[in-house]
Each structure stands twice: as structure tokens, then as C-alpha cells.
Amino acid sequence: MSDRADPSYDSPRAVPAGLASLAEHWGLVLAYGVVTLVLGIVLVVWPDSTVTVFTVLLAIQLIVAGIFRIVGALKMHRSDGMRALVGLTGGVALIVGLLILRDPLQSVLVLGMILGVFWLFVGIVDILGAIVAPPPEGRGWQLFSGVLGILFGGFLVVYTDLSLRVLIVLVAIWLMVAGVLALIAAFQLRSLRPAR
């Protein structure tokens, strides 16, 4: 005979402590879901404007980081090469930030090409590493990762403009799916709240 058939069986589902704590704050998960979903929709509706805003924010961040690094280098009490390196990286960050602000969309293309070259390089290194010094778990995943890096990096280098548009669409789809899943999770968490 099942416990459920017994009229004295009135115990609610046991909810793990961490999940119960999260259920108390289901509104935060709901807000995250709404913001994520809206960002995904904005990225689909205004892809060029979104990329421009992202690029401008990146430029501002680089300029601010550059200024802080330069000031930090000037205030250092060391006289070795570290002070010069910190100041140099600050200067490079400042210059790159200003160059990005000069033409944000052109900068996105350059960043895409740099990312493509980086993925090509990492893919080659992964393949060489798998051949020369395979990891203990085998070389399969490292070879697979290297081939993917070369394919994606090559695509970014050859078709930079198209690949950035594809990347925007993929990120937008990912944001919308993540937003919908967060909304569903928020309402499920809401139903797990203990009765008051």
C-alpha cells in the first residue's frame, strides 16, 4: 500500500535548503530573465546600434583603465622595469580607447579580425599540443578544439563583417533563450516558496 493512499500522509515535497532560499528571491530571477530577454530582442532589432554602443563602452573602459594605469605607474615607488611596463600598458590602453572612439564600427571589424587570428593561433597550438604532448585523457578533445579554433578563426578572418553579424544573431538567440528559461525558472521557484 502506498503512503499516498494513507489519509495521514500530508507531507509537502521536501525542498533543498539552497533551492528554498532561492525561491524566497524568485523576483531577482524574474528580473534577470526579463532583462536578458529584452537585451536579446534589442540585439535583434538594432544590431548595428548595439554593436556601436558596446564598442563605445569598451573604448571608455580602455581610456579609464589607461588613465588609472598611468597614474598608478607615476605613483609607484619602484624604479625597475615594472613601473615602465605598467605605464606603457596604460598608454597603449589609452591610445587604443581613443582610436576606437574615432570610428567604433571600423574598430569592431578590427577586433573581429584580431579575435580570428587569436583563434587560429590557439587552434594551431592545440593541434600541435595534441600531437607532440597529448594530455593524459587523450588527444581527441584537444584535436577537436584545435580544429574548431582554426575553422572559427579562419571564418572570422576571411568573412569578418558577415561573421560579426552571425555572432550578433547567435548572441541574441542565446540571450532570448536564457531569458525565457530564467522566466520559467522564476515562476517554478515562486511555486516552491513555503506557505506563510
pLDDT along the chain (196 residues), means of 10: 47 61 79 88 81 78 87 78 82 85 76 78 85 75 87 85 74 85 87 73
pTM of the predicted model over 0.85: no
Contact predicate 129/90, CB 8 Å = no
Q: What are phi and psi of 129, to 5 degrees?
A: -65, -40
Q: Which of 150, 147, 145 is nearest to 135 (CA)?
A: 145
pLDDT score of 10 = 43
pLDDT score of 13 = 59
Q: Which residues contact 130 (CB under 8 A, 6 or more apart)?
A: 139, 142, 143, 146
